[in-house]
């Protein structure tokens, strides 16, 4: 995904005065977590007082009381190991770079899965000229209860980044990103959710949408990111969902999911409910506190007035996490070794409960 800071401009200016040696890092629009923390501590009045601080809404900490009287028995058990195998399955095609053979083969696999698992599945395909190349993109869509007016949307991106431009080794930067976490993890969770929805379909309308072309743009060229979700938001194939949940970077062994500010602004009910479910289930990957902001497919949905959230391990973005193993975003090291069935299980189970109790 593209990225941006959760810090307002006045706070940034002050930060620059304090930390001039961080200009290089700031030039890539990345504000490390510790810096955000520093600013929050030192300049909390500026941060919260800034009229432009729409990325920093007041945060309510969710309570841990049950969100409904639906018991855990009513909600199917998500299979984290099955989801892990679905990550492997996608990686076996190779990097799913738009225009590549692996992209076509994986598209056909995902469509055939959704055809088996949903009431109706189809491709939303279109061609765009990007960086002088005509590229065929396809959003892959599967729906339950397609005629229902009350709908929710679950989404992730299935494409791989064409380049590993965050690799420290210059000889790696032209290689495509394997995209185990940055793509395949979210898709795997949604496919496994589809298996559970097939076994016991709620009456609610549910759309699973796998976006193409999320990660196509050169760094900072946000107009060429989110290609599939932008097209989808402008050409909705069904009635507008009441809530959308985007999954991105949801498979790391040491994942940390915090409230993403634009998500919180757009759909605080969904954030509070899902983090509440996680707390009740003892799923510690979900931290009930504000995290950094990020540009991602959910922005395209929010712009189309769809209340949307992004469940994302945002500290992977820009390598702000201090753990050396977790500095693999947009590198050739975004591989299966970083993924754990436990994290996938936790995310899948919480989203599944959100759907069944919506
Ligand atoms: Zn990415």
The alpha carbon of 160 and the centre of ligand 1 are apart by a number of angstroms equal to 8
The alpha carbon of 99 and the centre of ligand 1 are apart by a number of angstroms equal to 17
At 140 the pLDDT is: 98
Strands 151-157 and 133-144: unpaired
The alpha carbon of 42 and the centre of ligand 1 are apart by a number of angstroms equal to 31
The alpha carbon of 70 and the centre of ligand 1 are apart by a number of angstroms equal to 36
The alpha carbon of 200 and the centre of ligand 1 are apart by a number of angstroms equal to 33
The alpha carbon of 165 and the centre of ligand 1 are apart by a number of angstroms equal to 10
The alpha carbon of 225 and the centre of ligand 1 are apart by a number of angstroms equal to 9
Instruction: Say which residues have a Cβ less than 8 Å from residue 306's Cβ, sequence separation at least 6.
Output: 153, 233, 240, 241, 243, 244
The CA dihedral of 81, 79, 118, 178, to the nearest 10 degrees, is: -30
The alpha carbon of 296 and the centre of ligand 1 are apart by a number of angstroms equal to 9
Q: What is the pLDDT of residues 126-148, one digit of tens each?
A: 999 999 999 999 999 999 999 99
Helices (H), the chain: 9-18, 23-27, 33-42, 44-49, 80-92, 101-117, 185-199, 227-234, 261-266, 268-280, 297-303, 341-356
At 2 the pLDDT is: 55
Q: Cβ of 298: how many Cβ atoms within 10 Å?
A: 29
The alpha carbon of 72 and the centre of ligand 1 are apart by a number of angstroms equal to 34
The alpha carbon of 76 and the centre of ligand 1 are apart by a number of angstroms equal to 30
Q: What is the pLDDT of residues 277-327, one digit of tens each?
A: 999 999 999 999 999 999 999 999 999 999 999 999 999 999 999 999 999
> In what helix (H) or strand (E) does residue 138 lie, and over which residues does it extend?
strand 133-144
Query: Mean pLDDT across the stretch 31-49?
Result: 39
Rg (the chain; Cα; Å): 19
DSSP letters spanning 48-110: HH-TT-TTS---PPPP-S-SSS--TTTSPPP-HHHHHHHHHHHHHT----TTSHHHHHHHHHH
Q: Are 278 and 285 in contact (CB under 8 A)?
A: yes
Of the given ranges (7-11, 136-140, 221-225), which has the lowest mean pLDDT?
7-11
The alpha carbon of 132 and the centre of ligand 1 are apart by a number of angstroms equal to 21
At 1 the pLDDT is: 56
| 17 against 352, higher pLDDT | 352
The alpha carbon of 62 and the centre of ligand 1 are apart by a number of angstroms equal to 29
Q: Which fold does the domain 61-356 belong to in CATH? A: Aminopeptidase (3.40.630)
Q: Are 309 and 260 in contact (CB under 8 A)?
A: yes
The alpha carbon of 161 and the centre of ligand 1 are apart by a number of angstroms equal to 6
At 74 the pLDDT is: 83
The alpha carbon of 30 and the centre of ligand 1 are apart by a number of angstroms equal to 14
At 62 the pLDDT is: 43
At 191 the pLDDT is: 98
At 29 the pLDDT is: 39
At 73 the pLDDT is: 66
Tokens of 42: 């030192």
pLDDT at residue 47 tops 80: no
Ranges of each domain in the chain: 1-56, 61-356
Query: Mean pLDDT across the stretch 226-255?
Result: 97
Query: Mean pLDDT across the stretch 146-165?
Result: 97
| pTM of the complete model | 0.82
* Per-chain mean pLDDT for the chain: 85
The alpha carbon of 333 and the centre of ligand 1 are apart by a number of angstroms equal to 13
The alpha carbon of 214 and the centre of ligand 1 are apart by a number of angstroms equal to 7
The alpha carbon of 297 and the centre of ligand 1 are apart by a number of angstroms equal to 11
What is the SS3 assignment for 358?
coil
Query: Mean pLDDT across the stretch 38-56?
Result: 35
The alpha carbon of 229 and the centre of ligand 1 are apart by a number of angstroms equal to 14
The alpha carbon of 182 and the centre of ligand 1 are apart by a number of angstroms equal to 5
At 181 the pLDDT is: 98
The alpha carbon of 249 and the centre of ligand 1 are apart by a number of angstroms equal to 8
pLDDT at residue 228 tops 50: yes
């Amino acid at each position: 995904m593209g990225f941006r800071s959760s810090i307002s401009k006045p706070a940034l200016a002050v930060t620059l005065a304090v930390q001039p040696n961080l200009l290089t890092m700031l030039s890539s629009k990345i504000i490390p977590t510790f810096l955000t923390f520093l600013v929050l501590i030192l300049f909390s009045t500026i941060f919260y007082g800034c009229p432009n601080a729409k990325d920093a809404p007041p945060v309510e900490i969710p309570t841990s009381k049950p969100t409904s009287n639906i018991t855990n028995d009513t909600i199917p058990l998500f299979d984290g190991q099955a989801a892990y195998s679905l990550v492997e399955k996608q990686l076996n095609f190779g990097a799913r770079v738009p225009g590549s053979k692996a992209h076509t083969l994986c598209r056909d696999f995902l469509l055939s899965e959704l055809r088996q698992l949903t009431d109706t599945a189809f491709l939303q395909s279109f061609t765009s000229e990007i960086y002088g190349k005509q590229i065929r993109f396809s959003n892959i869509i599967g729906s339950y209860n397609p005629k229902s007016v009350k709908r929710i949307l679950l989404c992730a991106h299935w494409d791989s980044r064409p380049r590993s431009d965050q690799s420290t080794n210059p000889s790696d930067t032209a290689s495509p990103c394997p995209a185990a976490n940055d793509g395949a993890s979210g898709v795997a969770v949604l496919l496994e959710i589809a298996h559970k929805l097939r076994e016991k379909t709620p009456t609610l309308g549910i759309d699973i949408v796998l976006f193409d072309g999320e990660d196509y743009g050169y760094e900072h060229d946000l107009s060429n990111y989110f290609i599939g979700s932008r097209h989808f938001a402008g050409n909705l194939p069904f009635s507008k969902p009441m809530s959308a949940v985007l999954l991105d970077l949801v498979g790391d062994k040491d994942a940390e999911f915090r409230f993403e500010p634009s998500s919180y602004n757009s759909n605080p009910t969904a954030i509070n409910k899902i983090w509440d479910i996680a707390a009740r289930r003892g799923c510690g990957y979900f931290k009930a506190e504000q995290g950094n902001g990020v540009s991602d497919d959910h922005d395209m949905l929010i712009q189309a007035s769809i209340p949307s959230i992004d469940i994302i391990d945002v500290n992977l973005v820009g390598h702000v996490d201090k753990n050396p193993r977790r500095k693999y975003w947009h590198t050739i090291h975004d591989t299966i070794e970083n993924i754990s069935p436990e994290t996938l299980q936790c995310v899948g189970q919480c989203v599944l409960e959100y759907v069944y109790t919506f």
